[in-house]
């Protein structure tokens, strides 16, 4: 089977390996590295990680599906994760979610047809002091409201 993961990935794993007591402990960082590289975790990716670590691919899937921050479906170029836990919810996070859904023309959990945006609800981001908050790929955007969301989306090239 053709390899999905790059030499860079394997080099990084080599570097990380001495940090952990067992090779199985490398699973979470390996999944993170693979997701950074490919954007999401396909069955082929998980299979390759499984054979690299020496565990059954089902075991990789078990772990990857447990944690919500691993994407098991392809995501768009910009991945919006809006927090809807108590603090953000009270400060209007659901209004922002609804507005964003309308603006992008997708529902939570979906990706725009042009593969640019994916929208997800997120559990607490630990930014309750600046609620509502969201993650745009790996960056925080805080003190959200509809106007600020519009600005963010405009910067990313969404018209109107």
Partner 1 sequence: MPKCTIDGREVEFKAGENLIEVARKVGIEVPYFCYHPALTVVAQCRMCAVEVEKMPKLQTACSTPAAEGMVVRTNSERAKQNQKSIMEFLLINHPLDCPICDKAGECDLQDNSYKYGDAYMRTSEERRTYLDLDMGPVIKKNMNRCIHCTRCIRFGTEVAGIHEMVAVQRGNNTEITTIDGRPLETDYAGNYADICPTGSLTLKDFRFHKRAWMLKKTATVCEGCSKGCNMEIHQDNNVIHRTVPRANPEINKYWLCDEGRFNYHYVVDPKRVTAPKVGAERSTWHAAVAEAKARLHGKKVVVLAGTDLTLEEAKLLQDFVPKAFPGSALLHFGTPGIETTAKDAPADKILKRKSKTSNLNGFEKLGIKPLESMPAADAILVVRGGRAQLPKVEGLSNVIGLGVFTESESASFAAVLPGTSFAEKDGTIVNYEGREQRLRRAITPVGQSKALGEVLMLWLHSGAAKEAAV
- Which stretches of the chain bind partner 1, using CB under 8 A? 43, 46, 55-59, 61-62, 65-66
**Pairing status of strand 134-136 against strand 139-141:** antiparallel
Helix (H) / strand (E) element for 113: namely none
Q: How far is the CB of 8 from partner 1 (least distance, A)?
A: 26
Number of CB atoms found within 10 A of residue 42's CB: 16
* Smaller CB separation from partner 1, 58 or 90: 58
Q: How far is the CB of 113 from partner 1 (least distance, A)?
A: 26
* Smaller CB separation from partner 1, 43 or 137: 43
Beta bridge partner(s), residue 117? 78
Q: How far is the CB of 154 from partner 1 (least distance, A)?
A: 36
> Phi then psi for 59, rounded to 5 degrees?
-70, -35
* Smaller CB separation from partner 1, 58 or 156: 58
Residue owning tokens 């509502």: 132
* Smaller CB separation from partner 1, 6 or 43: 43
Q: How far is CA 155 from CA 23, 49, 119, 130, in A?
A: 43, 36, 17, 21
Q: How far is the CB of 72 from partner 1 (least distance, A)?
A: 9
């Amino acid at each position: 089977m053709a390899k999905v993961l790059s030499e860079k990935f394997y080099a990084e794993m080599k570097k990380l390996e001495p940090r952990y007591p067992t090779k199985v402990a490398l699973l979470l960082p390996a999944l993170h590295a693979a997701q950074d590289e490919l954007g999401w975790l396909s069955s082929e990716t998980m299979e390759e990680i499984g054979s690299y670590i020496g565990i059954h691919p089902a075991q990789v899937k078990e772990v990857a599906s447990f944690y919500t921050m691993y994407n098991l479906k392809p995501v768009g170029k910009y991945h919006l994760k809006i927090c809807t836990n108590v603090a953000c919810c009270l400060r209007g996070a659901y209004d922002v979610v609804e507005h964003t859904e309308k603006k992008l023309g997708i529902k939570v959990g979906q990706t725009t047809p042009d593969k640019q945006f994916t929208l997800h609800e997120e559990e607490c981001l630990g930014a309750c002091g600046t609620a509502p908050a969201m993650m745009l790929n790996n960056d925080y955007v805080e003190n959200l409201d509809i106007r600020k969301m519009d600005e963010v989306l405009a910067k990313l090239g969404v018209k109107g």
